[in-house]
């Protein structure tokens, strides 16, 4: 069990473990409880931590957990625990699913292969998106600041009836939607500004 923040409460974890047939939660019982470095009483020894629970495992033993999150908050942390269980020739029993998860050296190669596939897929997708953005001219980046004199100049271009909305926006260096949002509609004077006669 683990009482770190963000995990099910110890009561909920005990209920899950009871459902798996574990019911001895005494200090001498077979249940490991990581109390996040809290002490039971002043000067008392802390309860056994995960490392001690792993050292106590014998070949064929199962380390029962209420949830996979109990073993660690990251994929890497959980892999380390699973590898340690594998070195002891044991398995982890997930009480939330009722499934025993064995570990073998080949499992790490499979997981690494899957992780690399996911990373490469993302890399290829991002590379294609960058090429597509370059082809369309939508390169993103910091938007043009329209304040002070820059806004006055942009507004003059935007309200020029000789230019289309798209041409005016391109000349300013922003998208038409940004121009409408920042500079207002083109066919009527901006509120508070005198119409040109």
pLDDT score recorded for residue 40: 40
**Comparing C-alpha atoms, which of 104, 106, 33 is closest to residue 64?**
33
Give yes or no for a contact between 93 and 99, defined as CB atoms under 8 angstroms apart.
yes
Q: Which residue has the higher pLDDT, 190 or 96?
A: 96
DSSP lists the bridge partners of residue 63 as 92
Q: Which residue has the higher pLDDT, 122 or 194?
A: 122
Residues contacting residue 61 through CB under 8 Å, at least 6 positions apart: 88, 90, 91
pLDDT score recorded for residue 196: 52
pLDDT digits (tens, 9 = 90+) for 133-154: 777 766 665 556 778 888 888 9
**What is the set of domains in the chain, with CATH numbers?**
10-107 (3.40.50.1390), 140-197 (no CATH)
Write out the two tokens for 73: 């908050």
Name the residue with tokens 């980046």.
141
Give yes or no for a contact between 158 and 186, defined as CB atoms under 8 angstroms apart.
yes
Q: What is the overall mean pLDDT for the chain?
A: 76
Three-state DSSP class for 118? helix
Residues contacting residue 25 through CB under 8 Å, at least 6 positions apart: 14, 31
State if pTM tops 0.95: no
- How far apart CA 76 and CA 108 sit, in angstroms, is 11
pLDDT digits (tens, 9 = 90+) for 79-112: 888 888 888 888 888 888 888 888 877 877 888 8
Q: Reply yes or no on whether the pLDDT at 48 is more than 80.
A: no
- How far apart CA 113 and CA 103 sit, in angstroms, is 16
């Amino acid at each position: 069990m683990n009482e770190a923040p963000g995990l099910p409460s110890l009561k909920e974890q005990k209920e899950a473990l009871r459902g798996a047939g574990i019911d001895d939660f005494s200090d001498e019982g077979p249940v490991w409880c990581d109390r996040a470095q809290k002490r039971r009483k002043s000067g008392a020894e802390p309860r056994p931590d995960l490392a001690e629970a792993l050292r106590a495992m014998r070949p064929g033993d199962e380390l029962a957990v209420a949830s996979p999150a109990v073993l660690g908050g990251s994929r890497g942390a959980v892999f380390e625990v699973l590898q340690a269980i594998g070195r002891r020739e044991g398995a982890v029993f997930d009480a939330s699913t009722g499934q025993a998860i064995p570990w073998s050296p080949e499992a790490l190669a499979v997981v690494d292969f899957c992780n690399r596939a996911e990373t490469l897929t993302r890399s290829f997708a991002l590379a294609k998106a960058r090429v597509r953005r370059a082809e369309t001219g939508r390169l993103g980046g910091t938007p043009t600041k329209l304040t002070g004199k820059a806004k006055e100049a942009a507004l003059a271009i935007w309200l020029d009836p000789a230019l289309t909305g798209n041409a005016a926006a391109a000349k300013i260096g922003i998208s038409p939607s940004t121009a409408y949002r920042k500079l207002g509609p083109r066919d009527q004077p901006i509120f508070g500004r005198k119409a040109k006669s």
